[in-house]
Amino acid sequence: MSYALITGGSKGIGKAIAEGLAAKKYNILLVARSENLLKENAAELEKKYGVKTDFFVADISANDSAKKIADWCTTKNYDISVLVNNAGYGLGGAFSKLSLDEQLNMMQLNMQSLVQLTYLMIPVLKKNHSQHYILNVASTAAHQAVPFLGIYSATKAFVLSFSRAIHHELKTEDISVSCLCPGPTDTYFMERAGMTNFEKAAKQAERMNMSPEAVAKIALHGLFTGKLEIIPGAVNKTGAFFSRILPKKLVENTLIRVYKP
C-alpha cells in the first residue's frame, strides 16, 4: 500500500487521522515537533495495524520546513498518495494585546507552510497511482470572523478558500482536494490558544465537543468520497449554514459574547 503523510500527527485530530488511515492499510509518515510522541505513535501504528511507518521531526512553522519535508519524502522515495495538512494552532485574545511575533508565526504555520507543502508535494503525489488525495484542516471558524480569535479565524478562512479553489483546479490531475472544518474537539486547542479564561467559550465547547476519533472517521469518509468541504456534526453544519445566511454583524456580535475573555 502507498503512504499517507500527516503533519501535526503527534496528537489530536492528526493522530486520529493517522490511525484511521493505518486501519485502511496505508503506510504512515508522521511530521511534528515532538520526537518522543512521533516515535511512540509510529511504533504503536506498526504494532496495531501491521503497516510501515516513519517520521520526520520539524517545526512546520519554520520558513524552510515544507522544503525539508518534501526533500525527505523524495530522498526516501516514498510512494505517497495522501497528504494531510493538519498542523496548525490558534491564539485567543485581543489582536492588539497578543504578541505580534506569535500571531505572525501562527499565520506562517496555518497558511504559508500549508501552501508551500501542498505545492511541493503535488509532483510527489503524481509520481504513482491513478488517484491522489489532499486533506487540508481548517475549522468552523473559517465561516465567519471571530472576535478575539481574529487572526486564527482569518487563517482558517484562507485555508477553506484555497482548498475550494484547488479542488476544482486539480481535478484534471487526478488529485482530489477536501477541506475539513471541525468544530470544538476534545484536544488541547483551548490550552494552546491561551483560552483557559474564556469561560463562556469553554462551556460551549464542553457541550459541543466531538472526539478526535469521531472527527477523523467523518473526515476520511469525506476525503475518499471526494467531498469538497467536510463539516463533522449536525450542530456544526447548522452553525455554518446560519453563518452564511445571517447578517455578518449579527453573527459577529453573538460571537463577541461567547469569546470575549
97-110: pLDDT as tens digits: 999 999 999 999 99
How far the first Cα of the chain sits from its last, in Å, is 48
- Rounded mean pLDDT, 2-21: 96
CATH superfamily of 3-259: NAD(P)-binding Rossmann-like Domain (3.40.50.720)
- Rounded mean pLDDT, 223-251: 90
On the question of pLDDT at 201 being above 70, the answer is no
On the question of pLDDT at 139 being above 80, the answer is yes
Beta strands 132-137 and 27-32, pairing class: unpaired
The pLDDT assigned to 246 comes to 87
Beta strands in 138-245 (DSSP E): 175-180, 229-230
- Rounded mean pLDDT, 216-222: 98
The pLDDT assigned to 87 comes to 96
Q: What angle do CA 110, 216, 194 make, to 5 degrees?
A: 45
Query: Tens of pLDDT along 80-95?
Result: 999 999 999 999 999 9
> Burial level of 261, CB count in 10 A (0-12/13-18/19+)?
middle
The pLDDT assigned to 243 comes to 85
The pLDDT assigned to 15 comes to 97
Whole-angstrom distance, CA of residue 133 vs CA of residue 82: 5
| Residue in the structure block whose three cell numbers are 457541550 | 207
Catalytic residue among 3, 26, 133, 152: 152
On the question of pLDDT at 260 being above 90, the answer is no
**In the chain, domain spans:** 3-259
| Residue in the structure block whose three cell numbers are 486547542 | 189
Whole-angstrom distance, CA of residue 91 vs CA of residue 78: 35
Share of the chain above pLDDT 90, in %: 76
Whole-angstrom distance, CA of residue 157 vs CA of residue 109: 14
Three-state DSSP class for residue 28: strand
Distances 19 to 38, 54, 123, 170 between C-alpha atoms, Å: 13, 14, 25, 26
- Rounded mean pLDDT, 117-130: 90
Comparison of pLDDT for 259 and 51, the residue scoring more: 51
On the question of pLDDT at 184 being above 90, the answer is no
Q: 3 an active-site residue?
A: no
Is 0.75 surpassed by the pTM of this model? yes
Q: Are 144 and 252 in contact (CB under 8 A)?
A: yes
- Rounded mean pLDDT, 210-224: 96
C-alpha cell at 9: 500527527
Whole-angstrom distance, CA of residue 47 vs CA of residue 57: 21
Share of the chain above pLDDT 70, in %: 93
On the question of pLDDT at 190 being above 80, the answer is no
